Amino acid sequence: MRIPIMAGNWKMYKTIAEAMAFAEAVKEPLASVDGVEKVICASFVSLAPLAEAFRGTSLKLGSQNIYWEEQGAFTGEVSPLMLKDICDMVIIGHSERRQYFGETDETVNKKIKAALAHGLVSIVCVGESLEQNQAGETEQFVGKQVRAALDGITAEQMGSIVIAYEPIWAIGTGLAATADDANRIIGQVVRAAVKDLYGSDVAEQTRILYGGSVNTRNVEELMQQPDIDGGLVGGASLKPDDYIMLAKVAAGVKGAA
């Protein structure tokens, strides 16, 4: 059985004070929500205080980026050594980072390896643009991204890798992929690529999330899909009540399965 994940990607939102207020608001209500990994991926400046706030709770913490060197003259970057004691996970290769900050399949792969070397679970993002989608290139492009990200990663290491399929056209637009389409791409492209590379056992165990305009209205249908193991959620993860509901639905739907 794959334990579902509800990961909030806060992007460049929330000051430290706002992050702490969120932690305060969700701690109690989420304490009894089992059967789902609840992860908040906050900005670097909020990670240390959030780690304190989450201590002793079942909430996990993730960063939204990482650099692959341990230390050195890399102004503005944050290394795995700095993250490993406060974070459980790290988002790698989000489409916004690929689009605005020059991340490539190669840097994504380096970052995954750095995260692995320091015991951090990677949430690796893949997904096609609107143009690629309309041109019928989704399967080929997403498959290629998955393979490139996992280049040189062993079957044993796959236990520390989560993949998030996030079609770019669905991110922040309010226009999520249909549950059927998301399930199909995740099953027939992403999980299929993992199976091809590592065999059926690893493919069966790998958790693959859907991201892109997940909200309190569509989460249930998305979570009901057999190949969708949770969500990577931007906008709807910013409000405590919404995030609590998303986590509960993931736990309820997947727990009953």
At residue 102, the 3 state secondary structure works out as coil
Site stretch for ligand PGA (CB under 6 A), options 44-52, 151-159, 179-187, 211-219:
211-219
In this structure, what token pair is assigned to residue 36?
Answer: 């789902």
Write down the least CB distance from residue 26 to ligand PGA, Å: 17
Binding mask 131-150 for ligand PGA (x = CB under 6 A): --------------------
Residue nearest to ligand PGA (CB): 234
Q: DSSP string spanning 193-257?
A: HHHHHH-HHHHHH-EEEEESS--TTTHHHHHTSTT--EEEESGGGSSHHHHHHHHHHHHHHHHH-
191: nearest Cα among 211, 177, 205, 170: 205
Binding mask 155-194 for ligand PGA (x = CB under 6 A): -----------x----xx----------------------
Nearer to ligand PGA, 115 or 126 (CB): 126
In this structure, what token pair is assigned to residue 40?
Answer: 């908040």
Site stretch for ligand PGA (CB under 6 A), options 60-68, 81-89, 182-190, 207-215:
207-215
19: nearest Cα among 42, 36, 52: 42
Where does the chain show beta strands of DSSP type E? 5-9, 37-41, 59-63, 89-92, 121-126, 161-165, 207-211, 230-233
Q: Give the number of other CB atoms < 10 A from CB of residue 169.
A: 20
Site stretch for ligand PGA (CB under 6 A), options 23-31, 32-40, 154-162, 234-242:
234-242
Write down the least CB distance from residue 80 to ligand PGA, Å: 21
116: nearest Cα among 157, 81, 154: 157
**Positions in 1-20 near ligand PGA (CB under 6 A):** 9
Q: Is 94 part of the annotated catalytic residue set?
A: yes
Q: Which residue has the tokens 């290629």?
A: 144
The reply to whether 214 sits near ligand PGA by the rule CB under 6 A is yes
Given 37, 103, 128, 166, the catalytic residue: 166
Q: Is 221 part of the annotated catalytic residue set?
A: no
In this structure, what token pair is assigned to residue 225?
Answer: 């899909």
> How many residues line the site for ligand PGA (CB under 6 A)?
13
Write down the least CB distance from residue 81 to ligand PGA, Å: 26
Alpha-carbon span 242 to 237, nearest angstrom: 6
The reply to whether 40 sits near ligand PGA by the rule CB under 6 A is no
Select from 80, 93, 127, 235 the one that contacts ligand PGA (CB under 6 A): 235
Catalytic positions: 94, 166
- Residue ranges in contact with ligand PGA by CB under 6 A: 9, 166, 171-172, 211-214, 232-236
